[in-house]
Amino acid sequence: MRLSLLCLCFLLVLVCAALPATVAAAEYYQFSERWSFDEKDKGYLERPAGITGDSQDRVYVVDRARSAVRSYTPTGEYLGRWGAPGSGPLLFSDPIDISIDDSGRLYVADTGNHRIQVFTTGCDIIATWSGIRYKKPVDVAIVRKGKAYVADLDQPEILIADEDGYVESTIGVEGTGDGELRRPRALALDSEGNLLVLDESNARVTKFDGGGKFVLRFGSQGEGDGKLNHPEGLALDVMDNVYVADTGNGRIVKYSPEGEVLAVFGARGTEDGEFEEGPFAVWVDSKGAVYVPDVARHGVQIFVQGEPPVETPGENSTAPSGDDPSVPAGNGTESDSNRTVANGTAPNSTSPLETPPGEPTAAGNETVTEATSSPSLTPLPAITAVNITPYATATPPASLPAPLAGLAGALVISGLIVLRHRRR
């Protein structure tokens, strides 16, 4: 009798261990608004790629097809543009991503030209990082002490460069084990100085400490919650929550700093809140709104956190009162003072570098740089951190799926029946 009971308990343990546990997403995000422009408009994005923002939530988007960077206010009003196809200063070839440092310098991964170009927010060029170690750079993360991390598509390891772009060492080796990388695609730094690497081929995020030592990894290939399929975009908030552009699955996945799934939103499709192609990048503003470039609609989609729809008897699902999806990202309407750009000095409306003879411009009749006279930009204050914006979240509890819980209960009951039968 005891032997049978022990065997039954052992079988129960094996079944529960073999079946994967799931993590219940604790947060809900809903579509808020979309920026899109006609092709004739100056703010038009032919193929938006990388995205970032400054301390005033001004948004900078790389237009990969037109080899340019365009800037917008937090409410989507077009501010200006710089860049055009070419290989000279201020010109790009297949630019993929953009990031910003504590001093407000912008770093553009000029992938096709095998280099990183560094600019002020007024589109003045500061430096160009190139050389034999730069093959296909796709992203940059900057440490406050002047150290830079560079992800390169043609190299499995992360390059560590000084403030002038000279590569001094590397992090990681090629492989699939702990601390190993295959195709690093995006980078971010958390509040403790840890480096997070989005690995497209391994479909996961790997975290290293400031000394380059492996800390943890999370995510794996697949379609379920917490799974990733060729992810390409990465961002953090000040609580160190991780946002991943899950490109192959057409969605955004949000993790806690420990890798627990907090939210999954977006889907493959053509409606608002869906992505026909991508998403390829993600950024979070100071109010927690999530900005995602939308390739098919040539713009940007914005998601905000809210309450999940509630089913009422005899009615369709409706959003709770106060969560009006028509309200723009932020805490109010477009006139909300917290969402507008203060009056100040606009950036230079002319290019610091004229288009070289024979070099085409991005749209034929456009200049290399341009800016509108209104709304104006304010002087840029110090940035608090690279790709880090304030946004607090809660960590969800892990739970066993209902079908598995039912199976476990059935096995226990069966064991009790067997035991009672043997006693008779």
Residue 38 domain flag: yes
> Where are the extended beta strands (E) located within 209-257?
214-218, 220-221, 227-228, 233-237, 242-246, 251-255
pLDDT at residue 23 in the model: 44
pLDDT category of residue 415 using cuts at 50, 70 and 90: low
pLDDT category of residue 310 using cuts at 50, 70 and 90: confident
What amino acid occupies position 391? Y
Higher pLDDT, 27 or 365: 27
Q: Please tell me which of 193-202, 321-330, 339-348 the model is most confident about, judged by mean pLDDT.
A: 193-202
Given a contact cutoff of 8 angstroms between Cβ atoms, the answer to whether 112 and 62 are in contact is no
Q: Which long-range contacts (CB under 8 A, 24 or more apart) does 252-258 make?
A: 252/29, 252/279, 252/282, 252/290, 252/292, 252/303, 253/219, 253/225, 253/226, 253/228, 254/27, 254/29, 254/393, 255/205, 255/218, 255/219, 255/226, 256/393, 256/395, 256/396, 257/190, 258/216, 258/218, 258/395
pLDDT at residue 21 in the model: 37
Residue 59 domain flag: yes
CATH code for the domain of 303: 2.120.10.30
Residue 312 domain flag: no
Find the helix or strand (DSSP H, E) in which 9 lies. Answer: helix 2-18
Q: What is the dihedral of CA 32, 269, 43, 54, to 10 degrees?
A: 50
250-269 pLDDT, tens per residue? 999 999 999 999 999 999 99
Closest of 341, 317, 261, 252 to residue 289, by C-alpha? 252
Percent of the chain beyond pLDDT 70? 67
CB-based contacts of 242: which residues, under 8 Å, 6+ apart?
Answer: 188, 196, 205, 234, 235, 236, 254, 255, 256, 257, 259
Q: How far apart are CA 403 and CA 192, in angstroms?
A: 40
Give the number of other CB atoms < 10 A from CB of residue 409.
11
* pLDDT at residue 385 is higher than 80: no
Closest of 191, 274, 259 to residue 228, by C-alpha? 259
pLDDT category of residue 383 using cuts at 50, 70 and 90: very low
pLDDT at residue 373 in the model: 36
Mean pLDDT throughout 367-390? 38
140: exposed, middle or buried (C-beta count within 10 Å: 0-12, 13-18, 19+)? Answer: buried
Residue 167 domain flag: yes
Residue 196 domain flag: yes
| Averaged pLDDT score across all residues of the chain | 77
Q: How far apart are CA 301 and CA 266, in angstroms?
A: 10
pLDDT category of residue 422 using cuts at 50, 70 and 90: low
Residue 28 domain flag: yes
Q: C-alpha 222: how far from its chain's center?
A: 18
Residue 273's domain comprises 22-307+341-399
Report the half-sphere exposure of 309 (CA within 13 A, side-chain side): 9
pLDDT at residue 102 in the model: 83
Higher pLDDT, 146 or 97: 97
Residue 160 domain flag: yes
Mean pLDDT throughout 336-344? 30
Closest of 123, 108, 46 to residue 354, by C-alpha? 123
Report the half-sphere exposure of 367 (CA within 13 A, side-chain side): 11
Taking the alpha carbons at both ends of the chain, their separation in whole angstroms is 11
159-217 pLDDT, tens per residue? 999 989 999 999 999 999 999 999 999 999 999 999 999 999 999 999 999 999 999 99
* pLDDT at residue 329 is higher than 50: no
Report residue 29 as tokens. Answer: 């995000």
Question: Out of 145-149, 238-242, 330-334, 367-371, which region has the weakest mean confidence (pLDDT)?
Answer: 330-334
Given a contact cutoff of 8 angstroms between Cβ atoms, the answer to whether 100 and 106 are in contact is yes
pLDDT at residue 313 in the model: 59
pLDDT category of residue 49 using cuts at 50, 70 and 90: very high
Residue 42 domain flag: yes
* pLDDT at residue 304 is higher than 90: yes
pTM above 0.85, yes or no: no
* pLDDT at residue 378 is higher than 70: no
Give the number of other CB atoms < 10 A from CB of residue 327.
17
Total number of domains in the chain? 1
Backbone CA torsion sign across 97, 103, 105, 109: negative
